Amino acid sequence: MPANVPPRVYLQPGAPPELVEAVTSEATLVADAADANVIVWANIDGDGFLDARHDDIALVQLPFAGIDRWVAEGSIDARWTYAAAAGVYAAPVAEHALALLLAACRRLHECARASDWGKRWERAGTSLDGSVVGIVGCGGIGERLLALLRPLGASVVAVTRSGRTVEGATRSLAASQLNELWPIVDHVVLLAPATDATRSLVGAAELEAMRSTAWLHNLARGSLVDTGALLAALDDGRIAGAALDVTDPEPLPEDHPLWSHARVLITPHVACPPPVLLPHYASRVRENLRRLRQGERPLGVIDLDRGY
């Protein structure tokens, strides 16, 4: 897209006023997709954006971070340039991860299900203070989570694909060193994208290598965890519990044994509710339209070779 040309944006019909304002502050809003050179999508579930694309579209701005579903079905391909909203989710999802970590420590899942006071200390929990949290896929969300964990006295082992030094982590590991992670952490938080490389990242061997007091938290995608192996590990007490915002299969069927497991807390893929996302996404849209207008590279452009 040539520099200094205001983008003409087709915004998903029915988009909230915050997005209309973000678009009109930096670009021209057009009513018809045919007149546009940029698509800005609003629906976090993504439905419909595929139909709006045409040859003149220079960028499709998407409101979600994980694009695995569309890559898998071949509908996101190299013909168009897409910007995902990776990074925009950092604060909301890190907050949800912290909520799950604290709920696990403080046994809030058990408390919520109790119908009597019990014996004193029967449902007493532990603390994040002094604990070691392993963050697998420590990008924007993980770095934000790390900043929330430090004042609580938890230390972080950060795993990234490259093994780059993550600021504030007590140790930084590469994906190839993952086997060193499992025995040394009290909590594992999965935040890595769903790719071929991360499929069943956590299986029987990894669960076996974890401490029996450790919790597994998945806020990435269900495909990262072998559900059968997880259930077996929970049943055998090989790990202490699991907090899952994503599952495989998803939605998790009503009769699935994870629902009734005493040491499992499931939140139905709600780490970033749309009203919580909206102000963050509106800022991103504004920034990316400014970048397009000034001939800069938008944030979050998808690299199909990596898959995110």
Q: Which residues are catalytic?
A: 221, 250, 269
Can residue 14 be called a binding residue for a copy of itself (CB under 8 A)? no
* Other CB atoms within 10 A of residue 295 CB: 11
As beta bridge partners, residue 83 has: 61, 301
Which of residues 9, 98, 185, 214 is near a copy of itself by CB under 8 A? 98
48 touches a copy of itself by CB under 8 A: no
* Sign of CA pseudo-dihedral 132, 138, 144, 145: negative
Residues in contact with a copy of itself, shown as a per-residue x/- string from 281 to 300 under the rule CB under 8 A: --------------------
Q: How far apart are CA 127 and CA 57, in angstroms?
A: 51
Tell the smallest beta-carbon distance from residue 303 to a copy of itself (Å). Answer: 28
What distance in Å separates the CA atoms of residue 218 and residue 215, rounded to the nearest whole number? 10
User: Should residue 237 be labelled a site residue for a copy of itself when binding is judged by CB under 8 A?
Assistant: no
Q: CA-to-CA distance for 281 and 33, rounded, in angstroms?
A: 21
Of 275, 263, 273, 199, whose CA–CA distance to 237 is shortest?
263
Among 11, 207, 224, 266, binds a copy of itself (CB under 8 A): 266
**Looking at beta carbons only, is 123 or 161 nearer to a copy of itself?**
123
Given a contact cutoff of 8 angstroms between Cβ atoms, the answer to whether 233 and 207 are in contact is: yes
Residue 109 in the binding site for a copy of itself (CB under 8 A): yes
CA distances from 137 to 69, 161, 166, 221, 245 (A): 19, 7, 11, 12, 16
Q: Determine if 183 is a binding residue for a copy of itself (CB under 8 A).
A: no
In this chain, which stretch among 15-23, 64-72, 258-266, 297-305 interacts with a copy of itself, using CB under 8 A? 258-266
Cα 68 from Cα 46, distance rounded (Å): 12
The pattern of x and - marking residues 113 through 152 that bind a copy of itself according to CB under 8 A reads xxxxxx-xxxxxxxxxx-----------------xx--xx
CB of 47 to a copy of itself, least distance (A): 11
- Three-state secondary structure call for residue 95: helix
Closest contact distance (angstroms) between CB of 45 and a copy of itself is 7
**Which spans of this chain sit near a copy of itself (rule: CB under 8 A)?**
45, 91-92, 95-96, 98-100, 102-103, 105-106, 108-109, 111-118, 120-129, 147-148, 151-153, 250-252, 254, 259-260, 265-270, 273-276
